[in-house]
Amino acid sequence: MHHGSNWYCCRHFWPIFGLLEKFSCLQKTSLVVADTETGTMNPQFDSIGKQFVDFYYKAFDANRSELAGLYRPHSMMTFEGVQLQSAEAIMQKLVSLPFQKVQHVVTTVDCQPTTDGGVLVMVVGQLKTDDDPPHGFSQTFVLNNDGSNWFIFSDLFRLVVHSV
pLDDT at position 27 is: 41
Count the domains in the chain.
1
Domain that holds residue 47: 43-160
pLDDT at position 101 is: 96
Which CATH number characterizes residue 96's domain?
3.10.450.50
98 part of a folded domain:
yes
Segments in 19-163 forming alpha helices (H): 45-63, 87-95
- Among 27, 111, 109, 99, smallest CA distance to 64 is for 99
CA dihedral sign, ordered 28, 64, 143, 147:
negative
27 part of a folded domain:
no
Q: H or E stretch including 13?
A: none
22 part of a folded domain:
no
Measured distance CA(127)–CA(153) in Å, rounded? 23
4 part of a folded domain:
no
The one-digit pLDDT tens for each residue of the chain (164 residues) are 334 444 444 333 333 333 223 223 334 444 444 555 555 465 689 999 999 999 999 999 999 999 999 999 999 999 999 999 999 999 999 999 999 999 999 999 999 998 888 999 999 999 999 999 999 999 999 999 888 888 999 999 999 987 76
29 part of a folded domain:
no
